[in-house]
Chains A and B, each alone.
Chain A
Amino acid sequence: MNIHEYQAKELLKAYGVPVPPGEVAYSGKAARRVAEDIGGNRWVVKAQVHAGGRGKAGGVRLVNSIDEIRNIADGMIGHRLVTAQTGTEGQLIQRVLIERATKIEREIYLGLVIDRVSQRIVVIASGEGGVDIEQVAEEHPEKIHKEIVDPATGLLDFQCRKLAMAIGLQHRMSPFVKIVNRFYRLFRDKDALQGEINPLVVTEEGDVIALDCKLTFDDNSLFRQGEVAELRDFDEEDPKEVEATGHDLNYIALDGDVGCIVNGAGLAMGTMDAIAHHGGRPANFLDVGGGASPEKIANAFRIVLKDPNVKAILVNIFAGINRCDWIATGVVQASHDQEIDVPVIVRLAGTNVEEGRQILDESQMALIQADDLDDAARKAVEAAGTAPVRVVDDPTADPATEQEGART
């Protein structure tokens, strides 16, 4: 789960990491008021969307006159920001962060990750801040410095001092050590998966402050992180994915035309690969998980069919903990709940496969049954290749009307 920059900075502040004076605003008028409150003579207006690459896309503006704040903020709010990470549609800006501008002397990178190799939290620091750290890692790996944290002791001061020396920050050792330690405590306390302060800057006045911050939290820990869970902004997520999550389905929209309904994350990926192998393109990743009820399968159909690009649906189930008869019942139920206007290819294997096939046979649905993964992928790609273009209601429309089967 990701949060906005302004939310991340509030967390930093709560942990004692210095950030520039500022506040979030939902209108140009409010933005000006914030600027007046925080004072100064230069401000930064920052569009608050989860996607990165805001600066290059015009989502971060330096403003020299308080009279311009309102216009600039209004020019952002309500508009879509297209960055390298948003796709062509862009992301709707609903709020901006107004901060007093900082006079920067040096930019540093500070990151925290859960490292898969050491299987521990690792602190990453680099003297090259304010740029894409992956690029630095590739071009100048010697400029990336890491300290592995032992969970038994937590991050130790000497490790922070080592990092300070490695990036040439001896003269600001004490504030840097404090910041790294506090950022680590926030990361640990709140069950984060990834965090970066980029850039962490040394100002002309000699202060060390966090100018930008990204935090990603562990969805699996939200049950014990109530405060973090409240920071979730559903507007930043694909509505189909949000709806799927509500039905306990794991859905990720892709840009192909073969819809996929699969059990298990691995098999779901494998199914996408088999489709690609046969020259097709998957429209989505969808894992119905273990213990998939007929309702869950019916919901999966509804979500997949909302994607106007879908020209065929491949149901691939290898039931272990699942039961093929329930899956088959779900497929039949889905066809009753809504018009399924694309070819459906079904491959069932595993627990209760015979019962499942019988249910499908007796349903008299126009299904294409497949013997195995290869057969299923081939048939799905073929079906999608010959199917006509579909017209689907706006996915953001009122879900109540959609349940009535109001698709055209």
Chain B
Amino acid sequence: MSVFVDRTSKVIIQGFTGQHATFHAQEAMDHGTQVVGGVTPGKGGGTHLGLPVFNSVAEAVRETGASVSGVFVPPQVAVDSLLEAIEAGIEIAVIIADGVPVQDMVRTKRYLTGRNTTIIGPNSPGIITPGECKVGIMPSHIYSKGRVGVVSRSGTLNYEAVSQMTARGLGQSSCVGIGGDPVNGTDFKTVLEAFENDDETDIVVMIGEIGGQQEVEAAAWAAQYMAKPLVCFVAGVSAPRGRRMGHAGAVISGDSDTAQAKLDAIEALGHHTVRNPAEIGSTVERAISESGIGLAGAARSGA
């Protein structure tokens, strides 16, 4: 059944009529995603890409039964769109925008308390279950259906890792980009838990980067509660201290924040680690053969 989204997911797009939203909504539909409509306040009642446009998320949910929203709005207004989605009962809200004020996310997460929405992002490439559903901006042609779960902070490193796997015939169950911000909707641990509980995932790849302890905490959780093998890469071994490396969250503020320290800690917990980003695919392949998952490479791409 994969994680978070699949062929049965009904998806709306917030900021539907915008240029990027239009492009990626069409791409998502071409990939098989059930996009059922979109929201652009003030343009409700019309149609776009042959689908209904609504003035509010609540209206879109009521009329279409959507449970997933791809939030394609600028970072300055992201918090407003997210709270509207939460309030309307959206189950999965994927926020792509890079540049959302951190304190906006602090308030958004507080608002989430006691509510049932899962926010993926911000500063995220989105989420894809290859061949079934894509809510995001990733180039779908590099993904292939299979049994490797992928979770990353970075979008482009997600592409890099996936292309290495696809080239080796290792397809993916779902790929989740949790985003590069210091305060984000969903952390690594939550996604690992989802993959552990997913019948269609055999092995999980976690791609982190410098800053914070999220990767190590997730790996510690996995060492205790996860039966499936975990392969980890942490980007930024060569990054200097105290500098923000593009992503708002990618800054080394202490000794334990470095890529080296995190990889060492993750390795000590018994997981597979990758030190050279060019070797993610080969490491997954080795981890699969070592763990003896399936027979005759059941983890390989079926599609």
Contact = CB atoms under 8 A, between A and B. Distances in A.
A373 B240 contact: no
A311 B76 CA distance: 40
Contacts of A152: 110
A263 B125 CA distance: 13
B245 interface: yes
B287 to A, nearest CB: 19
21 contacts: A114-B106, A191-B101, A220-B100, A221-B101, A223-B76, A224-B76, A224-B101, A265-B180, A266-B155, A266-B158, A267-B156, A269-B154, A269-B209, A269-B239, A269-B245, A273-B235, A277-B276, A285-B245, A320-B138, A320-B159, A374-B279
Given A276-B238, A320-B139, A114 B103 contact: yes
Interface string B31-48: 000000000000000000
Contacts of A218: 101-103, 248
A214 to B, nearest CB: 13
Contact of B238 (A262, A265, A282): A282
Contacts of B249: 116
Given A264-B154, A264-B157, A373-B278, A273 B259 contact: yes
A303 B155 CA distance: 24
A349 B163 contact: yes
Interface string A363-394: 00000000011100100000000000000000
A254 B110 contact: no
B236 interface: yes
B137 interface: yes
List the 5 closest pairs (A to B, CB-CB), nearest first.
A266-B154, A265-B246, A264-B156, A374-B278, A267-B156
Interface string B76-117: 100000000000000000000011111101110110000000
A118 to B, nearest CB: 9
Interface string A148-167: 00111000000000000000
B207 interface: yes
Contact of A220 (B102, B154, B233, B279): B102
Contacts of A15: none
A397 interface: no
B112 to A, nearest CB: 10
A231 interface: no
A178 B139 CA distance: 53
Nearest to B249: A116
Interface string B207-223: 10111111000000000
A38 interface: no
A266 B157 contact: yes
A377 B275 CA distance: 14
B237 interface: yes
A198 interface: no
Contact of B245 (A268, A277, A319, A374): A268
A82 to B, nearest CB: 17
A34 B96 CA distance: 51
Contacts of A117: 212-213
Size bin of chain B's contact surface = 35 or more
A350 B142 CA distance: 7
Contacts of A320: 125, 137-139, 155-156, 159
A193 B76 CA distance: 17
Given A218-B101, A273-B235, A287 B246 contact: yes
A265 B154 contact: yes
Interface of B: 20, 75-76, 98-103, 105-107, 109-110, 125, 137-139, 142, 152-160, 163-164, 180, 182-183, 207, 209-214, 233, 235-240, 242-243, 245-250, 254, 259, 275-279
Contact of A372 (B105, B213, B278): B278
A373 B245 contact: no
Contacts of B183: 114, 116, 119
Contact of A267 (B76, B101, B154, B248): B154
A62 B166 CA distance: 65
A114 B182 contact: yes
Contacts of B209: 265-266, 269
Residue among A134, A254, A285 with most chain B CB within 10 A: A285
Contacts of A276: 237-238
A247 B247 CA distance: 17
Contacts of A267: 154, 156-157, 159-160
B141 to A, nearest CB: 8
A223 B76 CA distance: 8
Given A265-B154, A266-B153, A273 B125 contact: no
Contacts of A373: 160, 277-278
A321 B138 CA distance: 7
Size bin of chain A's contact surface = 35 or more
A26 interface: no
A119 B180 contact: no
A262 B245 CA distance: 12
A350 B277 contact: no
A338 interface: no
A50 to B, nearest CB: 12
Contact of A270 (B100, B180, B235): B235
Contacts of B153: 266
A83 interface: no
Contacts of B182: 114, 116
Contacts of A188: 103
A374 B283 CA distance: 14
B254 A134 contact: yes
B156 A318 contact: yes
A17 interface: no
Residue among A134, A193, A351 with most chain B CB within 10 A: A193
A263 B156 contact: yes
A221 B100 CA distance: 8
A329 B157 CA distance: 24
A272 interface: yes
A252 interface: yes
A79 interface: no
B246 A273 contact: no
Given A268-B245, A270-B156, 4 more contacts: A220-B101, A266-B235, A269-B245, A351-B139
Given A220-B99, A268-B245, A285 B276 contact: no
Nearest to B243: A252
